[in-house]
């Protein structure tokens, strides 16, 4: 992927998150000098397997597991300072050297205890059909404060008087709502005491991520911008209001790290060979009953952040075509193909119908998306173990056929097929995608 001409690559989720971006970023980070997150916060959960060790990262980019890579949290990320410090401690405890390898934008906003409390209290108090099913990590309220221009930024910790005024005002605004929602108010002094403890670590990491990325590229380095969540959870392009509060699509990468879009060379979309969603909102190809349970168990489909069971469904090419458009995808990575190994047959949605009519552009309304009927292509399964396959030719012919159809319907060339969590369990495909292969 990092061919000679590719200096800056964005990796995004092209479904509803949990596509396996962490693994792909880990594989690609070997060639990167910088890996940067540009949005989201500790709502993300990126699972990376290195030999027999499994790491679940929430804030720190997956590139941290290579010794040479510099990892950045861009201005577009919202950072829970205590989460970050815990994550750093647990990586260090497992022998990962972080010295000089981690940078945090001075412009990034902090997620503070009142954001978390508001997120959780709002969710509890929403009527069942209106619950978003957030991760409860304070993401929405933190972005709301950012946009309302009352947030606390990493750089504000350089002046604790200023930080204290902001925290005081933040608690002042949050507490009446918390009390109305029957939740505990947040004590600004306790927040400041907590911030005093983490302040030296945060200020020690503080940097200008845009400047670092621009200079890194100018010096001939390679940069990987790591998205969190997925296109269908994007605040503008996702299944609003059942979305997260940031721009998860590739357009957000430039703004969220501090570079211009002209510096981005390629956008890799990561998709599972089927679909999952965690949290509420429409999922047209959703399965239920035994088939759903089978896919959930075989795929280990439980949230990396909250442990919640994910909702499984068949691969939906409508979703991926749409994600290709809103992200400008130049290539695709298909993960978890091996999870389908034992299925005698599978389905792949190629279109939607609404009230008996074909649906044109991807619906903007969740009510319509709830009512669409997927049009399916049926596929015979390959019923053999693909985890040992290391090349396109090793894959069973039915699996190759499935991937060809998936590529044709998604309209984006496949460049990677993942058949297991380990780094080696990754098949690289040449530039033309699988349609150019036998």
Rounded-to-integer distance, Cα 7 and Cα 223, Å: 6
Residue 46, φ and ψ in degrees, nearest 5: -105, 120
Q: Which of the ranges 27-35, 137-145, 253-261, 361-369 carries the binding residues for ligand IMP, by CB under 6 A?
A: 137-145
- Under the binding rule (CB under 6 A), the answer on residue 27 touching ligand IMP is no
Residue number of the CB atom closest to ligand IMP = 279
Q: Which of the ranges 22-30, 42-50, 170-178, 315-323 carries the binding residues for ligand IMP, by CB under 6 A?
A: 42-50
Rounded-to-integer distance, Cα 299 and Cα 320, Å: 20
Rounded-to-integer distance, Cα 359 and Cα 316, Å: 14
- Under the binding rule (CB under 6 A), the answer on residue 412 touching ligand IMP is no
Q: Is the peptide bond before 241 cis (omega within 30 degrees of 0)?
A: yes
Question: Among 228, 287, 348, 403, which residue interacts with ligand IMP (rule: CB under 6 A)?
Answer: 228
- Please state the closest distance from residue 221 (CB atom) to ligand IMP, in A: 27
Rounded-to-integer distance, Cα 348 and Cα 343, Å: 13
Question: Among 137, 153, 272, 379, which residue interacts with ligand IMP (rule: CB under 6 A)?
Answer: 137
Site string for ligand IMP, 270-309 (x = CB under 6 A): --------xx------------------------------
Question: Contact 343/314 with Cβ under 8 angstroms?
Answer: no
Of residues 199, 181, 172, the one with CA closest to residue 114: 172
Site string for ligand IMP, 240-269 (x = CB under 6 A): --x-xx------------------------
Name the active-site residue from 18, 26, 119, 338.
18
- Which CB atom, from 217 or from 232, has the smaller least distance to ligand IMP? 232
- Please state the closest distance from residue 177 (CB atom) to ligand IMP, in A: 17
18 is catalytic: yes
237 is catalytic: no
- Please state the closest distance from residue 397 (CB atom) to ligand IMP, in A: 33
- Please state the closest distance from residue 365 (CB atom) to ligand IMP, in A: 18
Residue 59, φ and ψ in degrees, nearest 5: -120, -45
- Under the binding rule (CB under 6 A), the answer on residue 227 touching ligand IMP is no
DSSP string, 210-250: HHHHHHHHHTT--EEEE--S-GGG-TTTSSTTSS-SS--ST
- Under the binding rule (CB under 6 A), the answer on residue 42 touching ligand IMP is no
Question: Among 50, 82, 98, 133, which residue interacts with ligand IMP (rule: CB under 6 A)?
Answer: 133
Which residues are CB-neighbours of 376 under 8 A, at least 6 positions away?
314, 347, 348, 349, 350
- Under the binding rule (CB under 6 A), the answer on residue 44 touching ligand IMP is yes
Rounded-to-integer distance, Cα 412 and Cα 391, Å: 20
Sheet with 102-105: strands ordered across: 206-207, 102-105, 70-73, 34-37, 223-226, 8-13, 266-272, 331-335, 414-418, 426-428
Site string for ligand IMP, 92-131 (x = CB under 6 A): ----------------------------------------
List residues near ligand IMP by CB under 6 A.
17-18, 43-45, 132-135, 137, 139-140, 228-229, 233, 242, 244-245, 278-279
Active site residues: 18, 46
């Amino acid at each position: 992927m990092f061919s000679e001409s590719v200096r800056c690559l964005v990796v995004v989720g092209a479904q509803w998150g949990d596509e396996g971006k962490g693994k792909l970023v880990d594989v690609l980070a070997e060639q990167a000098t910088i890996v940067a997150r540009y949005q989201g916060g500790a709502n993300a959960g990126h699972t990376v397997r290195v030999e027999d060790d499994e790491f679940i990262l929430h804030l720190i980019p997956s590139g941290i597991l290579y010794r040479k890579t510099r990892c950045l949290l861009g201005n577009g990320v919202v950072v829970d300072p205590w989460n970050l410090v815990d994550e750093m401690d647990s990586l260090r405890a497992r022998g990962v050297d972080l010295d000089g390898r981690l940078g945090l934008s001075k412009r990034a906003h902090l997620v503070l205890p009142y954001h978390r409390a508001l997120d959780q209290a709002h969710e509890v108090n929403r009527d069942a059909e209106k619950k978003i099913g957030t991760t409860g990590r304070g993401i929405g309220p933190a972005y709301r404060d950012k946009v309302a221009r009352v947030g606390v930024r990493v750089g504000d910790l350089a002046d604790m008087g200023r930080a204290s005024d902001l925290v005081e005002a933040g608690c002042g605004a949050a507490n009446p709502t918390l009390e109305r929602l029957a939740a505990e108010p947040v004590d600004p002094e306790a927040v400041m005491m907590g911030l005093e403890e983490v302040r030296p670590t945060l200020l020690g990491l503080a940097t200008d991520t845009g400047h670092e990325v621009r200079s890194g590229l100018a010096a001939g380095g390679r940069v990987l911008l790591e998205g969190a969540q997925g296109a269908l959870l994007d605040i503008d392009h996702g299944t609003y209001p059942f979305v997260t509060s940031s721009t998860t699509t590739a357009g957000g990468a430039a703004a969220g790290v501090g570079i211009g879009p002209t510096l981005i060379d390629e956008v890799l979309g990561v998709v599972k060979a089927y679909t999952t969603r965690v949290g509420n909102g429409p999922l047209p190809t959703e399965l239920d009953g035994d088939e759903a349970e089978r896919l959930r168990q075989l795929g280990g489909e439980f949230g990396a952040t909250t442990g919640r069971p994910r909702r499984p469904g068949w691969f939906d090419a409508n979703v991926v075509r749409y994600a290709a458009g809103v992200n400008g995808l130049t290539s695709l990575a298909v993960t978890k193909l091996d999870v389908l190994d034992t299925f005698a047959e599978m389905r792949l949605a190629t279109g939607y119908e609404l009230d008996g009519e074909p649906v044109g552009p991807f619906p903007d309304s969740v009510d319509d998306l709830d009512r669409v009927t997927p049009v399916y292509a049926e596929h015979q399964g390959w019923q053999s173990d693909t985890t040992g396959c290391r090349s396109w030719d090793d894959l069973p012919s039915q699996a190759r056929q499935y991937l060809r159809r998936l590529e044709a319907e998604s309209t984006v060339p496949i460049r990677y097929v993942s058949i297991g969590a380990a780094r080696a369990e990754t098949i690289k495909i040449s530039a033309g995608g699988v349609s150019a292969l036998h």
